[in-house]
Each structure stands twice: as structure tokens, then as C-alpha cells.
Structure 1
Amino acid sequence: MALAPLTPQTSRAYVDVHVIQTVPPANMNRDDQGNPKDAMYGGVRRSRVSSQAWKRATRMHFAGNKPEEDHATRTRGVAAALTEKLGALPGVPDEESAARLATSLLAPLGIKAGKKAGDTAYLFFYGQRQLDRLAALIADRIPELLALSDKKREAAVDELGVQEIFRTEHPLEVALFGRMVADLASLRVDAATQVAHALSTHAVDLEFDYFTAVDDETEKKNETGAGMIGNIGFNSATLYRYATVGLHQLKHNLAAGRESGAAWPATVAGVREFVTSFARSVPSGYGNSFAHRTLPSLVAVVVRTDQPVNLVSAFEDPVRLEGESIAATSAKRLANEHAKVTEQWGEPASFQAVVHAFDEKPALRVEDAFGPGQSFPELLAGLEAHLDREFSGESA
């Protein structure tokens, strides 16, 4: 399949990630009744895993592979976190003093207080390095600031540029997933990533596991009866997962406050980290009960310069088990849909690559649509090389 030519004038690019993944009996993302989430699609009930659940799983995968100082945190308790950090500074005599300093430092942000003492009214998403920079602002002025009244201290802190710290040098998670602060537009960060709700490619039925837990001490006495009984809803499914990264938006978010030229390497590295973590992560709900972690049967990455394209329409007609596995049929359906979209809309990808675990007929169709099968490290290396080769001129 021919790939679209690129020009130095290209201003937008989207990295689409398509995943086919089969999970065994699981309840990784439950609804308000405690059962696996679902949705109607194509006239039948499908298994569903919310975008929020998979975004958090992706973020947790980031955290497991990065040093703590590079982590991001989303919490109502930013004041408590800052209090703890300030309490470790020389010159801060006690926790009460640290709390007073933290309150003054956060005042310029204008974030509304929550109902619980020390909490904000909503979750605030920030990087650990941003909190470190905030503490460094007053590290050499602690005795002076503590000697002031609360009102005068807040006035002094207001001149230090606190808001600028949270507008610049965003950690990767904030740059990717954005930050929404309802009443403070100046602190908002537009997300570079969109993640779809994962849907099963086929119809599913909700099932229940009735379980009993034995009381070990009762068993020793040869007494009968369970120490606990209950049931857990579950289903099993082959899921289609989709996400897209706006390369231009990610670069814009990472450029804020960084030295000229530093944003582009961070952008390419960020895309690699996202693709890796999105592909390898799994929501952990009821993980001890079901041990449902699997790896995808297929990961396809497509770089487009027109718009992101979710290929879920390949599965509007639900896949049925007829001769081939559901995963294999789903992979062929996905390949056909990608080829059809390219042909009908005349917007070929600038890059496409695929990792898959299929043999013979499914493999032929998948590779005809997405290119030769390769290992995941090879896919990542090829994606990085393509982005550097075709888009590095836009990094300035």
C-alpha cells in the first residue's frame, strides 16, 4: 500500500494506535452494580472498558518505569503533598509552619478549597518536579516568610510567579492527558491524547461467579459452612482498543518552559512511552480474583496527517466464531476496514507498522494492510525514526 508523501509544511500529525486483545474471564472495570461495564453497539451487548480506566492503567504503567521525580499526581490533596515537601526543608520548624507556607504558596493559583480541610474542590494534576520547583521558590526565604502575617505572606508569594510553574515544564502525563481546572482557564492544559472506550468485537453475556471462602479455624474443628459467600459478575472478550496522540499538541504542551529544541526529543520519547504503556497496560480491577493480564494479539500504529481515525466500524456487525478464532477474524476485519478507509477517502498513512501473533490467512491480510509483521521493539524504533525523519524540521 502506498504511503502519503510528506512536506516540510505539514503542521499536524496523529499517531493512531489500534489494538486487538483477548482477555479471559475478568471484571477489570465495574459499573455501579459491581458488574463489568458494557454497551450496546451494532444491536448487541458488548463488553466495555472505559477510557478513564485504560488511561489510568497507562499512567500507572508510566509510573512503574520512571523515577519518582518524573511522576505526575492527580489529587485533591496537593496542599498536603506540598506541606510534606516543605516540612523537609531546613528552617521549617514544624508541620503547622509548613502548612501555613503551603497555603500561601497555593493561594495565587486561585483553586477553590474543598469541603475537607486541606483539600481542593477538585482533583489537581501536577508533576513532582513542579512541586519541587515550587518549594525551591522559598527555600532561602523561610524565616522571613514565616515572620509575616498570612495576608502579607500571600502578597509576597504572589510576586514569585507560582502560576508560571504550573504552566510550564509539564510532566509527560499532564502533556498527554491534559488538565481541566473548571474555573481557572490559565491552568488548563489541552490533552494531546484521546482514548476510546474499549469494546468487544463480538456479543457478550454477563456471567456470575458464586464463591465461598473457608474459615480456616472452623475447618480445623471439622465444622461445616462457609465463612463468607458472595458473587462477582464477569465476562470474557476480545477487545478492540484505540487511542490517538496529536503530535503537534504534545510538542506544544512539552515546549512550555523548556529550552528551545528540547521539546522535540521529549515529544518523540513521549510518543514511544505512550504507545508502549497503552499496549502493555491492563486495568487492575479484581486482578487477584481473575489474573486477567494478557498481551495484545495485534498492535498497529498508523501516522496520519489528515485526522485521527477510529476503526471500530469494522465491528458494527459483531464477529462470530466460524472456523477461525474471534481474535483472528477481528484482526482481518480491522485490516479490511483500514484498507477501505484509505481507498475511499484517499488519505494514505505516512507510516504504518504492525505487531501480531497470527498465522497464515489472518497474517496475510493483516500484513497486506499494515505492512510486514515485526517485533514490538522494531515497531517502536521504526516509529521513532519516522517521526524524526519526517517531522523534526517542525521542532523549532
Structure 2
Amino acid sequence: MSRFVQLHLLTSYPPSNLNRDDTGRPKTALVGDANRLRISSQSLKRAWRCSETFESTLGGHLGTRTKLKGKQVFAALKEGGIPDKTAREWAKEIAKQFGKLKSDKKTENDADLEIEQLAHFSPEEEAAIQALVATLVARKDAPTEAELKLLSQPRHAVDIAMFGRMLADSAEFNVEAAVQVAHAITVHRAAVEDDYFSAVDDLNRREDTGAAHIGERGYGAGLFYLYICIDRELLLKNLSGDAALAAKALEALVHAVTKVSPTGMQNSFASRAYAGHVLAEKGSQQPRTLAQAFLKPIKPFDGQDIFEKAVAALNTRRDNFDAVYGACADSRYELDVDSAQGTLAGLVAFVAE
């Protein structure tokens, strides 16, 4: 089996604000002395993991990332008839198995039940917690030390197998990510622009009253390059050797990365987009991104197609790497919308076979 699958995607987004910085404006990056729009890998992975694509294909094999597990357990214990004080103590004992609880001792809004850092719970761990809660409700007695050993090495959580998990206080249960995702950047110079807008009160439309609300938001548009590296051997290992589940995971991933957009301000911009070009490479050689193809920003002249130039730059860099280092892949598959080359089904088969 070829160990690595590398995906290089070009996706054109119209005016959008898919991934905001701390000021609410689209994220950017300085690349090759040119400012680019950027979509963080965290934003992309969350969009894929929470998509209907993942849910419909991998339902029952997805984990839950939350700080609030203690609150959920507390509510379940109280619903089962456990007194408030006792339920709180037991819920804290269960929650702290997955991370340090907040140091705030106040019970306002049940803050003392929250884990400090987001913890990613596998389906197996979720089931173990539910079973323990049912046991405690039935016997009305505190959990034993043995029963509180709820952490386990995830075996069937596809999102954890793909994107990893870190538990600072329980490193033995960490999972190394089998899918590495770069930040997507525009292949050309890009500016963040400002959208000034106003809203009119439907019940007060007199011209002399002006707008009922005015505002401003940032947006940008561009052709983005995204690089993804999949370690298929590690994915299979993370899924306990379940080849069928690994294949379903890769199928869902390919569908998501080509068709699912981050959700930021979609109601304002409707900036949903499919990938226009995908280069997939398979082999056991050391992976490498082709982002270097865009250090010099693409700049079309005399009516040239920026998409066509970006594809050409990508292929040129790929060929040049091969010429210098030797073949960087054993086989390749291309999907290109402009030339109607390849199919999504063919891409899935290439990646997952």
C-alpha cells in the first residue's frame, strides 16, 4: 500500500468572510512579499468534521469536542434522582478524568464542572460515561476508582484518527493525526475590502428618518490553494486496522474537502464553492507541498485566465520537483472542472483504493 496521499486543491471563492481574525476581518498571510487571504486549517477541519457529509457517511464513528461534559453528566445524574450536591461531586470526578477542571470554585453557571481545555471524547468513551451514569443512578453509590478509568485509546473515532487528539494530563491517550492540513492561501495578491451597509426599519420608512442601522464588515475574494497530506498507514493504525472504516473515512474526507466550505458569514455572502482543480498523488516518498508554485503571486495579463495560470504553475512546480528529486509519487490523478477531466468518484477510488 502506498503510504501517503497528497491532495492539492484550487478553489475559487467569491466575496466572503469564511474565517475571521480577532477584529472580525478575513484572515491574511504575507507570502512571497504579497498579502494573501487565508483560511486556517482549524476552520477547514471543523467545517469538514461537522458537515452532513461526515455525519451521513460516518455517523456513529465521530467524537465530540467539548469542555462541558461535566455539566452534561451532572444534569443526567440529577435527572436520575441523585441529590444536587452528590451529583455535582460525582460529575466532577468523571469530568476531571479528561482534563483539569476550571480552578474557579464558584458554582455559578456550574463553572466548576467545566474542563479547562476542549477535550475530544471518542464514541467508546461517551458510551462508557453513559453506562457509568446509569450504574450510579441505579445503585445510588459513588463511583469506584476502577470505574473512573474512563479514558481509552480511541479505536473507531474517525475524526480523532484523522485530526488527532491531545490530552495534556494523559499523554498516553493522545492520538497522532493521520491527516495534515495546511492553511489555504490565495495564489495571487488579495486585499481585504470593506462592505458598508445599512438597514431600514420596515415600520418607519419615512425618508427623513434615515437608516435604522448602519454597519461595516470586511470581505475578500480569491483563488485558494490548499495542501493536505494523508498518512494512510497511520490512519489504518488509528482505526485498529479496520480497512473498511478507513476506506469510508477517506471517501468522506475527499467529498468534504472538495465540496464543503467553512461556515463563516455564509448567510451574508453565500460563498459556497466546489474545488475547481484537484491534483492527487500517491506514493511512499517524503511528502512535500506545492505552495512554492505561488511564492510569486499569479498575475494574469491581457485577458489571461488566473485559474488556468494557477493550474499551469502547480504542474510546473510538480514536474520540476520530480526532475530534481526524482519521482515524488508513484501515481497521480487529476480532477479539473474547466476541462471536465476526471470525476469525484474517480478521485475517491484513487485515494481510498
User: Please, what TM-score do these two structures have when normalized by structure 2?
Assistant: 0.89
| Structure 2 counterpart of 1:351, from 320, 323, 331 | 331
CA offset at residue 210 of structure 1? 0.5
CA offset at residue 35 of structure 1? 1.2
Give the AA of the match of 2:315.
A
Give the AA of the match of 2:346.
E
| Structure 2 counterpart of 1:43, from 18, 27, 33 | 33
Give the AA of the match of 1:159.
A
| Structure 2 counterpart of 1:330, from 310, 332, 335 | 310
Contact 1:14 1:304 in 2 (8 A): yes
Contact 2:4 2:282 in 1 (8 A): yes
**Cα–Cα, structure 1 residues 222 and 300, in superposed 2: closer, same or farther, change >3 Å?**
same
**Cα–Cα, structure 1 residues 304 and 68, in superposed 2: closer, same or farther, change >3 Å?**
closer
CA offset at residue 87 of structure 1? 6.4
Alignment partner, residue 212 of structure 1: 198
Aligned counterparts, 1:375-394, within 5 A:
375-385=343-353
**Cα–Cα, structure 1 residues 277 and 85, in superposed 2: closer, same or farther, change >3 Å?**
farther
Cα deviation code 1:287-306 (max 9, x no counterpart): 11111111111122211202
Cα deviation code 1:320-347 (max 9, x no counterpart): 1224221111111111111222222113
Work out whether 1:245 is the aligned partner of 2:245.
Answer: no
Contact 1:70 1:129 in 2 (8 A): no
Contact 2:132 2:147 in 1 (8 A): yes
Q: How many residue pairs align between the two structures?
A: 343
Secondary structure of 1:216's match? Answer: coil
Alignment partner, residue 288 of structure 1: 267
Alignment partner, residue 249 of structure 2: 270
Alignment partner, residue 123 of structure 1: 118
CA offset at residue 279 of structure 1? 1.7
**Cα–Cα, structure 1 residues 332 and 118, in superposed 2: closer, same or farther, change >3 Å?**
same
Contact 2:14 2:222 in 1 (8 A): yes
**Cα–Cα, structure 1 residues 103 and 170, in superposed 2: closer, same or farther, change >3 Å?**
farther
Contact 1:311 1:338 in 2 (8 A): yes
CA offset at residue 51 of structure 1? 1.1
> Runs of 5+ in structure 1 lacking a partner?
1-9, 148-152, 256-261, 364-372, 386-396
Give the AA of the match of 1:59.
R
Secondary structure of 2:113's match? Answer: coil
Alignment partner, residue 300 of structure 1: 279
Contact 2:16 2:221 in 1 (8 A): yes
Alignment partner, residue 57 of structure 1: 47
CA offset at residue 37 of structure 1? 0.8
**Cα–Cα, structure 1 residues 285 and 377, in superposed 2: closer, same or farther, change >3 Å?**
same
Work out whether 1:78 is the aligned partner of 2:73.
Answer: no
Contact 1:83 1:95 in 2 (8 A): no
Aligned counterparts, 1:43-192, within 5 A:
43-61=33-51, 62-66=53-57, 69-84=60-75, 92-94=80-82, 96=84, 99-107=88-96, 109=97, 111-114=99-102, 115=104, 116-137=111-132, 139-140=134-135, 142-144=137-139, 146-147=140-141, 153-154=142-143, 156=144, 158-160=145-147, 162-164=149-151, 166-192=152-178
Secondary structure of 1:302's match? Answer: strand
Contact 1:44 1:203 in 2 (8 A): yes
Q: Which aligned runs of 4 or more in structure 1 are off by greater than 6 angstroms? A: none
Secondary structure of 2:73's match? Answer: helix
Alignment partner, residue 313 of structure 1: 292
Alignment partner, residue 394 of structure 1: none
Cα deviation code 1:159-186 (max 9, x no counterpart): 237345x313241111111111223212
Alignment partner, residue 30 of structure 1: 20
C-alpha distance in 1 between matches for 2:65 and 2:134: 25
Give the AA of the match of 1:374.
G
**Cα–Cα, structure 1 residues 195 and 337, in superposed 2: closer, same or farther, change >3 Å?**
same
Secondary structure of 1:340's match? Answer: helix
C-alpha distance in 2 between matches for 1:104 and 1:84: 14
Secondary structure of 1:217's match? Answer: coil
Contact 1:87 1:95 in 2 (8 A): yes
Secondary structure of 1:29's match? Answer: coil
Give the AA of the match of 1:269.
K
CA offset at residue 232 of structure 1? 0.8
Contact 1:58 1:274 in 2 (8 A): yes
CA offset at residue 105 of structure 1? 3.4
> Runs of 5+ in structure 2 lacking a partner?
105-110
**Cα–Cα, structure 1 residues 86 and 250, in superposed 2: closer, same or farther, change >3 Å?**
farther
C-alpha distance in 1 between matches for 2:83 and 2:179: 39
C-alpha distance in 2 between matches for 1:53 and 1:168: 23
